[in-house]
Amino acid sequence: MNQTPGAVDWLAQFTQSLTDLTTQNGGALSNFGMLLLTFIATMILIGIAVRMSSWSVHFGGHRSVSLDELRTFLFRLLFCCVIEHYWVTNLPGASFGFNRMFSYIAAAISQILDQSQLNQLTGLLANAGHNTPMPTVFAPMETICYYYVEGLLGLASGIIFLINCSSFIFYAVAALFGPLMIPLYMTETFRGKFLHFVEVLISLAMIRAVAAAFIYVWSQFLMGFMTQTFQGDYSIAMWLANLIPFTTIYIAFILNMFLIPSVTQMIFGGGAGIAGKIGETVEKLGALVAAAG
């Protein structure tokens, strides 16, 4: 019987690396974002001054500037300054800045949905794979069954890791460019770009929460199925006896995992669907490999 090797929490490693990416490099982009904000605010003030001066006759006529317009300008400038300053810097009384706020909310939702189910499910898949004995070369049907089961278990574990890891990567990369998008809120033309950027951040962060919801539902069923069906006996004979129900259930589970980015985009909008493109690519590659084999 195979021994379970020491496990490495690669998801935690990715999380720490991406956190370092946003915190260590966010400062440089924040400085550039403040320069961009200063430039945009200066151009807006110049435009206001030109409209109030006698030169405005050459640009469509003299027009006074209302107090509401100045108040709106100052509010937007203050809003952008606060967001820029606290984009990487931790908020007062919090352990995160605006760049990690949505990710923090998604992590809290995942904990509410019992994120430990993810560890239990991946541990179950790993245990089943490691405790399945390798058949002899003189039993070709058992050998085919062994590699088929190992491949399906590995694919299920890989999809879980891929979806969670993709959400972290896309969110961290998107948040890195936040300081460059914040000044766009000052402009009438590009304000929608900033609001769309916020929607994308929410959508990418919530992939993790939606994945936790899917896993919460599926983990109870899969763990119950594996425990009651195999009862710790992962011999080739047991796999052959339960190959059809095992295949049906795990294919349904894998297909549901592929739908997580699409469901997230359907609920929250934004660009979460891009994470599903990776899953579709992996699915196509798997089909090509299976066809070639």
Q: How confident is the model at residue 39 (pLDDT cuts 50, 70, 90)?
A: very high
Residue among 210, 218, 192, 193 at smallest CA distance from 272: 210
Q: Which long-range contacts (CB under 8 A, 24 or more apart) does 249-254 make?
A: 249/221, 249/222, 249/225, 250/152, 250/153, 250/156, 251/152, 253/156, 253/218, 253/222, 254/155, 254/156, 254/159
Residue pair 22/169 in contact (Cβ under 8 Å)? The answer is no
- Which pLDDT belongs to residue 293? 47
Distance CA 45, CA 70 (A): 9
pLDDT at 290 over 80: no
User: What pLDDT score does 16 carry?
Assistant: 64
Residue 104 φ/ψ, nearest 5 degrees? -65, -40
Q: Which two tokens stand for residue 244?
A: 């059809």
**Cβ partners under 8 Å of residue 57, min gap 6:** none
CA distance 194 to 200: 10
Between 75 and 102, the higher pLDDT residue: 75
Give me the amino acid identity at 175. A
Task: Report residue 32 as tokens.
Answer: 């550039």
pLDDT tens figures, 220-255:
788 888 888 888 788 888 888 888 888 888 888 888
Portion of the chain with pLDDT greater than 70, in percent = 75
pLDDT tens-digit map of 167-224: 777 888 888 888 999 999 999 889 989 999 998 888 888 888 888 888 788 877 888 8
pLDDT at site 9: 56
Q: 265-286: per-residue pLDDT in tens?
A: 888 876 555 555 555 554 555 4
Rounded to an integer, what distance in angstroms lies between the CA atom of residue 39 and that of residue 186?
11
pLDDT band at 79 (very low <50, low <70, confident <90, very high): very high
* 54 pLDDT more than 80: no
